[in-house]
Amino acid sequence: MAHFKRTLLPFARKASETFKCLLVNGPRQVGKTSLLKEMLDGDRVYVTLDDPFARSLARRDPERFLKAYPAPALIDEIQYAPNLFPYIKMAVDASQGRGQWWMTGSQQFRLMKGVSESLAGRVAILRLQGLSQREAAGDDSPAPFEPDAERPVRAVAKSLPDLAETFKRIVRGSFPEPLSVRDMDLPLFFSSYVGTYLERDIRELVSASMESAFLDFLRVLAARTSQELNFQSLARDVGVSVPTLRSWVSILETSGLVYRLRPWRANVSKRVVDTPKLHFLDTGLCCALCGIETAEEALSSPLSGALLESFCVSEVLKSHWHAGREPQLYHYRDHDGREIDMVLWARGRLFPIEVKRTASPDARDILRPWEAIRKAGLPLGPGVVLCPTMREMPLDDGLNLVNPSAL
């Protein structure tokens, strides 16, 4: 398999030098273990709790487990034994060393309670997703994406991908394995991925009698990527209760498979009460769940605009997460129905980001919500329209057309 440089690597090294523990969180098969193994020295012990014998020992006798695998150690898939956290706390408190315990986890819902109760102030938590476009292309520069008013005056050094090329990226997704094997059977890979997810991560949280309904839920939800999350409508389509759906969406979110993009409100307390938009973070998985196997099918699908939007949201998020940052990213919608797909709050300003499937978007349609933000008196930074333009250029003062490959 091809080796990819991850932009998170220098931040993980720095975190290990600063904190006693390091936890890399993210979905299965995105490269968490590979990232930490790249940092390994000869003295560090490696153990994975995917191994049933190691997992059994960690659950049954955590003290003995830590004696068998003493620091410095890398514990893979630690969510299988959250009872280790109090014992790790005692071990790190008895030592002044940094970077004693490295851990990976595939499920935040099993990790965060143990981390917050036992390792608060002792652990650095980093998020890893699938490969960003930059990482897949071999560019490991860690700059988070932010709209730049000066970008169009700089020469674009590379040829820009057209819509068809962008949709090839969308269908293939961001998992390292499909990106490293050219003739990968994508439907087989994603079918196996979903099967592994259901088998390993969901079985203890969803009863066996509901597994078929959960798979239906995954498919229905994938067909709604980039839409506002309407639990009542979702419940009618899936045939389960709203409380069950809320639980299932939370499982997917904390597994790192979907992201709730919350609405922007000037009043912070109101940002969490209005309807979020839900995005699949890997568009390849989303396509597979929707039965889309090729870029041509994706392009002609009614979901093409939604897939492009989710792809761009995921790339913006990864550019920040893989630089060790937590972005303040929202979507914008005012009372008159004017919308902006993303707004990034940074350095006291809002940076609007709109996504369009056409290479020549109508400036009037785009500028209306921009004007609404200006009239609201919000501090506004430069904005971008992400579209398959073959020539990046200004659309208006402080608003530029930019190809999605810039993310």
* Residue 175: closest CA among 143, 138, 217, 132: 132
Task: Specify the pLDDT at position 115.
Answer: 63
Give the CA count within 13 Å in the CB-facing half-sphere of 269: 0
The residue behind tokens 């997704």 is 173
HSE-up of residue 227 (Cα within 13 Å, Cβ side): 14
SS3 string of 166-208? HHHHHHHCCCHHHHHCCCCCHHHHHHHHHHHHHHHHHCCCCCH
Q: 165 or 369: whose pLDDT is higher?
A: 165
| pLDDT of 257 above 90 | yes
- Parallel, antiparallel, or unpaired for β 383-386 and 399-402? parallel
Q: What is the pTM of this model?
A: 0.92
Choose among 104, 277, 112, 256: nearest CA to 193. Answer: 256
Q: Which residues contact 274 (CB under 8 A, 6 or more apart)?
A: 262, 263, 265
Burial class (CB in 10 A: 0-12, 13-18, 19+), 156: middle
Give the C-alpha separation, 215 to 372, whole Å: 41
pLDDT value at 321 more than 50: yes
Q: pLDDT per residue over 340-390, tens digit each?
A: 999 999 988 999 999 999 888 887 777 887 777 777 777 888 889 999 988
> How far is CA 169 from its chain centroid?
16
E-only strand ranges, 101-173: 101-105, 123-127
pLDDT at 197: 79
If you average pLDDT over every residue of the chain, what do you get?
Answer: 87
- Round to whole Å and give the CA distance between 212 and 34: 33
C-alpha distance from residue 64 to each of 49, 61, 183, 365 (Å): 15, 5, 45, 64
pLDDT > 70? residue 189: yes
Q: What pLDDT was estimated at residue 154?
A: 47
The pLDDT of residue 273 is 45
Supply the pLDDT for residue 153: 47
CA atoms within 13 A on the CB side of 163: 19
Q: What pLDDT is attached to residue 158?
A: 60
Report which residue type is found at 292.
Answer: I
| Whole-Å CA distances, 73 to 10, 25, 66, 103, 127 | 19, 17, 9, 8, 20
What digits encode the pLDDT tens for the residues 15-45?
999 999 999 999 989 999 999 999 987 789 9
Assign 400 a pLDDT band (cuts: 50, 70, 90): confident
pLDDT tens digit sequence for 69-116: 999 999 999 988 888 988 998 888 888 889 999 999 876 555 555 565
Q: CA-to-CA distance for 44 and 39, rounded, in angstroms?
A: 10
What distance in Å separates the CA atoms of residue 282 and residue 255, rounded to the nearest whole number? Answer: 12
Please give the average per-residue pLDDT across 276-292, as a whole number.
97
Average pLDDT rounded to a whole number, residues 231-252: 92
pLDDT at 57 over 60: yes
Least confident of 92-106, 195-209, 259-273: 259-273
DSSP state for residue 142 in the 8-state scheme: -
* Predicted confidence band of residue 267 (pLDDT cuts 50, 70, 90): low
Of the ranges 180-184, 220-224, 363-367, which is most confident? 220-224
Residue 272 has pLDDT above 50, yes or no: no
Q: What does the pLDDT look like over 110-162, one tens digit per residue? A: 555 556 566 767 888 899 999 999 899 888 777 899 887 666 544 454 678 88
Instruction: For the chain, list the domains and their CATH numbers.
Output: 9-127 (3.40.50.300), 133-406 (no CATH)
* Tokens standing for residue 311: 């792809």
